[in-house]
Structure formats: C-alpha cells, structure tokens
Chains A and B, each alone.
Chain A
Amino acid sequence: MDAMPKWAEVILIPLISLILAFFLSGLVILAIGENPIRALQIMISGALGSTYGWGYTLYYATNFIFTGLAVAVAFQARLFNIGGEGQAALGGLGVALICLYIPFPHWTMALPAAILGAAIFGAFWAMIPGYLQARLGVHVVITTIMFNFIGASILNYLLVDILRPPTSMNPATARFPDATNLPSLHDVLSVVGIPFSRAAPANISFFIAILACIVIWVLIWHTRLGYQIRAFGQSESAAKYAGISPEKIIMVTMLISGGLAGMMAINNVMGEAERLVQNAVEGAGFIGIAVALMGRSHPIGVFLAAILFGFLYQGGAELSLETSIPSDLIVVIQALVILFTGALDDMVRAPLKSMFLMFRKPEATPKAPKPAE
C-alpha cells in the first residue's frame, strides 16, 4: 500500500498545486496594480458564468482533450510524443481535403469521413517518427518536434501556393461547403430543450472527444493491446520476455497517438473555422502535454485538465477584453499552472506524503515509497 490514499493522489495534489498557482498569479497581478480578486471573478464569470462562456471553454477543451489523449496514450508506452502540433496540423489538412473535394449531401456523412481523414493524416505524421524509433532507435522526442516544423512548412506551401483561392490574400483554403458545417452545441442542445448560446464555437466535436476518452479508457485498461502497451511502458525487457514485440507496440502506439492529435481538426477546422487557416493548431499540441501530465495520463484526468485549460484560455480572453491586464500576463498565469501541476508536482507530493505517514495508524508498517516514474 502507498503512503497516500488514492483520492489524495488524484484530487488533493492537483488541487493544492492549482491553488498555489492561482495564489502566485494573484501576487503577479497585484504587482502590476490590478485587483486579483476581481481578475479571478472576471475569469470565472467569463468562462463559466454563461452558456456563451461555456461555449468557448468547451471549444478549447475539446482541442485539448484530443491532444491530451494523444500524449497520454503515447506516455502509457513511455513514448514522449511532442509532435501533437504537427499531427493536428496535418489532420487539418486531411479534414480540409475531404470537406473541399468530396461533395457531401449532409454533415452526418461528412463527419465520419472527416474523422477518418483527420486521424489518417495525423497518424501518418506520427508514423514516420514511430518507424524511426522502432527500427533505428531514433528518439521520438527529437523526430516528433522536428516533424512539427516540416508539417508547418508543408501546410504553408499548400496554403500559399495550392489551396488558396487565387483572389484571396489570406493564406487559407476556401470556405467548406455548407453541407459539411457541423452543428454547434446550440443546435445539438436545443433538440433536447436546453438553451445554449448561439455565438459560441463549441460544437458536436465535444461529444466525439468524450467518446474518444471512453474508447481510450477501454483500449488501455480492458484490451490485450492496452495491456501490451502498458507492459511495454513499464519495462521493455519484461515485455519482450513476455513475447510482446517492441516494434509493433511503438508503431501502434504512435499511430493511435497521432490519429488522436489529428482528430482535433474536426473541432477547430471543421467545427469552428470551416476552412483551413494557417497556424490553425495554435499551440494546442503543446498544451496537450501539460494536459496529459496533469491528468496523470488517464482519460478522466485528461478530460478534467482539458476543461481547466479551456477555462484558462477563455477566462484569459475575458480578462484581456475587460481589463488592461496585458495578454502576456495571461500566458504567465497559464505557465504557472503548468509549472505547478506538471513540473513541481513533487513539491506538493513530498510534504503531503509525510503528512499522511504521520497520521497513519500505528499498526501499518511504512513502506519504501514507490520509485519515481
């Protein structure tokens, strides 16, 4: 038995980290002469106080769920896929090609095709680094981040020279046909009688993201493949001894991971912009790393962390709309949250652990702490 009960591990540590991050952010806001309480109020009411705010929060969260899951799945096999940015960009290309060149009669047909296109393009972009890792031992951290730049260059070339409508100055594709436009949360929820803001960009992709969380949970913890992935992640040599092929696991994991990152495109490209613009991913691939770290690489954790980052994004936008707090400071707040929940995890964990040891019942013998992962 560990020193800490599970609830402390999954709820208490992130919560304390979060409070510390917000406290420090408050000090920074105070230092530039603004009121931190009011800032927090604006963030909360702006992001969660109306269906309009929720619409934006969930829109961002949907992006982060996909990229967070992508990093989380790879991390189960101890692969550090930091190429979510490029994989999501390529996923956008897949969505754009499908929406632009296949005349769909209705979005219900366009959506599955777009999901497939996004996943295939994203998976393809993770496949090459995966292959290099599996066969040649080239580390995925190096190759995936390099592939982000290659992806950006390809997209730039295609958008500027090939896909851009000749009359437009903006390096972006033409607007997708109306039949491929996804219903927004307003449309979806009005069917069941729940009023929801019409202006917000959250769309049906949010439900696809929840579905993806469930599928990944089943895959990792309730299938043979998931077991193999986890076994490989815990110990490569033990997995090999058990007859698990490392090459196969690396390839399959990277494909799933890339596919998930690519699927983000149904939200931002198909659901929101309804066209492929340059720089459509906007760092969501990197936020995915923080989301996966904070969510302990578990789908439920990823989901909650994604909502938190969605809140930070939308709350931050409200902050810059309503106050004179510069947008750079909002990045500082986001960074503090990442720092505390991701990197400085042990700072909270160690004292909490000794506290639990202190209050432990005398008969339980303290055991050596689990080796750091």
Chain B
Amino acid sequence: MSLMKKMLGAAATLALSTGAMLAEPAIIFDLGGKFDKSFNEAAFGGATRWAEETGNTFREIELQSEAQREQALRRFAEGGSNPIVMTGFAFADALTEVADDYPDTSFVLIDMVVDKPNVRSVVFNEHEGSYLVGMMAAKASESGTVGFIGGMDIPLIRKFACGYVQGVKAANPDAKVIQNMTGTTPAAWNDPVKGSELTKAQISQGADVVYAAAGGTGVGVLQTAADENILSIGVDSNQNHLHPGKVLTSMVKRVDNAVYAAFTEGPGLEKGFQVMGLNNDGVGYAVDDNNATLVTADMTAAVEEAKAKIVSGEITVHDYMSDNSCPVN
C-alpha cells in the first residue's frame, strides 16, 4: 500500500513537473542572432524581464539556417511550449504552414501578419516613430543636411527611411537628406566599420545629424558621430546612453514589450492583428538624462504636437510598405 502510494506520488510529481515544463513559453530568434544590439536583443530583453519577474523559465533558440524555421516551430509546438514567439518577418511563410497543425498552441509573430485563428501578429509603425526623430533631426541640424544609414537594403528599412525623410521635410522643407544603405548581405546588420565609413562620407557632404537604422552597424555610426562631434540617432532600443550628450535621441521600437506581453498573457493570449504605434507607445522617441540637454523645448513642443496629430489622424505618415514607394526623398 505504502509502496503503491509512493509510486503514485512519484508519478503525480512527475506529471506535475512535466506539466510545469509544458507550460513554458518559447522564443525563436531570427538569423541575426540574439545579441544584435537591436531588434532580437530587444526581444530577448522582454523575455528576460518576464523570466526575472515571474521566476519562470522559457525555451529559446537562435536560428542558423532557413530550413530550421519550420523545424524549430514544430519542435517547440510538439514539446508543448505555449505561446511561441517569433522575431522577424521571415517566419511568416513557415508559420502559415505550421499554425494549422497545432490549433491549441498560440503563436506570436512580430513584424509581419499571418491570418490564422491561433496567431497574434504584431506590427510596428516604424514610419511614425521615424517621422518624429526626423523632425528632431531637422530642428537640431545647423547645416540643413541630415543623414540616414540603413542596414540591409530591404523594404522594412526603406520604411524607416521614408518616415524619417517625411519628418525632416515637415520640420524644414528645404532640408537635404543623404541616404545610404550599408549592404546587400546579412553582414550589413553587423558591420560597424562600414557604418563608420558611411558616417564620415555623410559628414563630408555636410550632414550634422545621422540616423542609424542598421542593427549592430549602428554602433559604428554612433561612435563615429560622437568622435566627429556631430549628433546621431539610435534605433530599436534606447541607445542614448552609448554616447551621453552625443546621441540626439533613439527611435525606440518596443519589441521587448510585445514579447513581455505575450509571455505574460500566456497560452490564452488574444489572437489577431496588433498594431504598435505612437498611440500605444509601441514606437516613440527616447528622452532621458543622457540627451536632456540636446532636446530643446521648441523641439519637444513640435514633436509632441506632431505626435498628437498623428494619433488623431490629422497627419498621415506615408508607409513605404503600403505602395512600395516614398513620396519624398
């Protein structure tokens, strides 16, 4: 009897512990890697924050090959992970294939839309946030020339650039924007040396504020801007602290909040389409001690006014993705 009890108890404990393990959420990082100082790292930050606050654990994997997308998704789903968060638009195709096979698993896709009953799609209005930092760049510029340095030349980065240019022109219609992309291979996301060279080239053309939307490459942009004594604008995470007093602001994209929210809501999270914009602080510009002296009252007033108008719909920032073109450049 007692032996039986013990065995049952052991079985129950085992069942419980597997049960606890099964409820683990999972996150899949895209090929850029977890520590890209930008997008994926922000997502990792959100997951870590959740783990620290709740004391729970999560499963994670950094992809190394395209063929692993579906593999990782299926493995996590079959292993009982729920919800499963994916960072990056490139997962859309794999998720479309996989989602129907695991109707009880909740999937969260960041940066792209997949229309399935068990998928939450989170997209960010990067063009709106870029618009605001564009206005600030134009106001901070003395030469009337500002720069944009993108990572890899893909539609998403053109969306950043387009919003930025619109913001610059809104604040100063005569301003000139110099645009450069770092490269055409994934190496462009992590090439600080090239970022530095492009910054120097833009400075020689008169730019005195440079916005980097280039992942790890941006580290080189911000460094060179600080060395050459011009202003820079960070991206995704708040990068103001990298060079206090030299980084005008950062266009923050709260990927961490999206991951944190998904993990907190757990398997029963609300599905559907979620837009993270200025209205719900999904994107924005960062002001802290490091850049407080750089942001003038005039700047704040103008940007806050624009922000309110964008939220109310009075100003529409053109989204590059909507028609694959940008009205200004």
Give A residues with C-beta under 8 Å from B. 56, 59-60, 149, 152-153, 155-157, 160, 164, 166, 169-172, 175, 199, 201, 268, 272-273, 275, 277-280, 282, 313, 316-317, 320-321, 326-327, 330-331
Contacts and interface: CB of A to CB of B under 8 A. Distances in A.
Contact of B90 (A59, A170, A327, A331): A170
The 8 closest A-B CB pairs, nearest first, are A156-B184, A153-B184, A327-B62, A152-B185, A169-B89, A171-B154, A170-B89, A152-B184
B71 A273 contact: no
Nearest to A272: B67
Interface string B179-207: 00000111000000000000000000000
Interface in B51-102: 61-62, 64-68, 70-72, 74-75, 89-90, 92-93
B103 interface: no
Nearest to B64: A327
Interface in B137-191: 152-156, 184-186
A56 B72 CA distance: 12
B44 to A, nearest CB: 12
B321 interface: yes
A169 B155 contact: yes
B280 interface: no
Interface string B264-285: 0000000000000000000000
A56 B184 contact: no
Contacts of B62: 320, 326-327
Contacts of B66: 268, 272-273, 277, 279-280, 282
Contacts of B65: 60, 282, 313, 317
A321 B153 CA distance: 31
17 contacts: A60-B67, A149-B184, A149-B185, A152-B185, A155-B184, A160-B155, A166-B323, A166-B324, A169-B111, A170-B92, A277-B66, A279-B31, A279-B66, A279-B185, A282-B66, A320-B62, A321-B61
B112 interface: yes
A181 to B, nearest CB: 12
A329 B112 CA distance: 30
Given A160-B154, A170-B92, A170-B112, A56 B321 contact: no
Contact of A330 (B64, B74, B153, B185): B64
Contact of B71 (A152, A160, A317): A317
Contacts of A313: 64-65
Interface residues of B, number: 31
Nearest to B111: A169
A276 B90 CA distance: 12
Nearest to B185: A152
A209 B110 CA distance: 37
A331 B31 CA distance: 14
B154 A56 contact: no
Nearest to A284: B65
A172 B152 CA distance: 14
A279 B74 CA distance: 23
B74 A199 contact: yes
A170 B93 contact: yes
Contact of B153 (A156, A268, A279, A282): A156
Given A169-B156, A275-B93, A317 B74 contact: no
A235 B71 CA distance: 48
A277 B72 CA distance: 18
A306 B171 CA distance: 58
Central interface residue in B66, B90, B154, B184, by most chain A CB within 10 Å: B184
A321 B185 CA distance: 26
Contact of B67 (A169, A201, A316, A326): A201
B64 A160 contact: no
B112 A169 contact: yes
Nearest to A316: B64
Interface string B23-49: 000000001010000000000000000
A169 B67 CA distance: 20
B64 A56 contact: no
Contacts of A277: 66, 90
Central interface residue in B155, B186, B321, by most chain A CB within 10 Å: B155
A153 to B, nearest CB: 4
A22 B152 CA distance: 36
